[in-house]
Chain A
Amino acid sequence: MTGLIHWEDIEVGQVERFGRYEVSAEEIVEYARQFDPQPFHLDEEAGRHSIFGGLIASGWHTAAMLMRMICDHALGNAATVGAVGFDGLKWLTPVRPGDVLSVETRAVDKAPSRSRPELGSVKVENRVFNQHGVAVMMLTSIALYRRRPAR
């Protein structure tokens, strides 16, 4: 357990880059059918007639893909217990079929939990990039980590 990254181990300012997520048209449409059935998320032809000029992923799908990349990177390595929420989510550029996404995170702040002494929060700026190095989405998440037991 002590090998896991705990709240004390996070340094404000630390940057990590990770993840590789290939976005397919099939997955874009599958997500959209379930959760965001707007024409420009469901159909290439309908997308062409929209302000986006083609099929694009639901922004919530991009957020879900970010979460998957974070899990693949951190699960089993970090003593995280979920998140409080996020601020400042911006969908900057459409995500299209064939895009390959990756992540850059920066820890910007941390604080001990006031109500739960065994936990601490970390504010993390997350940026998702496509294969051209263009940022497609950003958000600042507030993640909860376990603190190391007092010795």
Chain B
Amino acid sequence: MKYFEDFRVGETDELGSYTMTEAEIVAFARKYDPQPFHVDPQAARGSIFGGLIASGWHTCAILMRLSVEAARREHSAATGSPGVDSCRWLKPVRPGDTLSGRTEVLDTQPSRTKPFGFVRRRVEMLNQRGDVVLSIVGISMYRRRPEPDR
């Protein structure tokens, strides 16, 4: 199990990858972000984006999915998040794009009152051309290593 104490500032990791389909982009947007350039390929062609693009919240959701899978692989004691410092949607994500992720630990801070600690990370999502499409600085909580093992 990877506990709060096991994270090091500067440590980097690769997330897996995920290919976005038009059907998924449209299904997500119909439910949560039905702007024309997310749900209607024809309308999207006439928009400033020149074609259908994924909702930024969909890209964030994919980032979360890849993060959960990574946490599972390293058996981390993740226990939610208090928030995100910043998020920038830097480039449109289009049908067929394959997104991958990379992370870097910026800061670690034990909770003063609870048996867990906060890990602040930069996470970047890149497309298959190597363009950064999403850059986030987010905070995750991890349980502390149980006393007898510390």
Known: A35-B65, A52-B80, A90-B82. A75 touches B35 (CB 8 A): yes
Total A-B pairs, Cβ < 8 A: 88
Known: A67-B57, A87-B85. A81 touches B47 (CB 8 A): yes
Known: A35-B62, A36-B61, A68-B33. A86 touches B81 (CB 8 A): no
User: What is the minimal beta-carbon distance from A68 to any residue of chain B, in angstroms?
Assistant: 5
User: What is the minimal beta-carbon distance from B16 to any residue of chain A, in angstroms?
Assistant: 14
Q: Tell me the bound Cα distance from A52 to B80 in angstroms.
A: 9
Contacting chain B: which of A5-13, A55-63, A104-112, A125-133? A55-63
Q: For residues 67 through 110 of chain B, which have their beta carbon under 8 Å from a beta carbon of chain A? A: 68, 78-89
Asked if A24 is at the interface of the complex by the 8 Å CB criterion, the answer is no
A-side residues, CB < 8 A to B, are 31, 34-38, 40, 50-52, 58-60, 63-65, 67-68, 71, 75, 80-91, 139
B-side residues, CB < 8 A to A, are 31-35, 37, 47-49, 55-57, 60-62, 64-65, 68, 78-89, 114
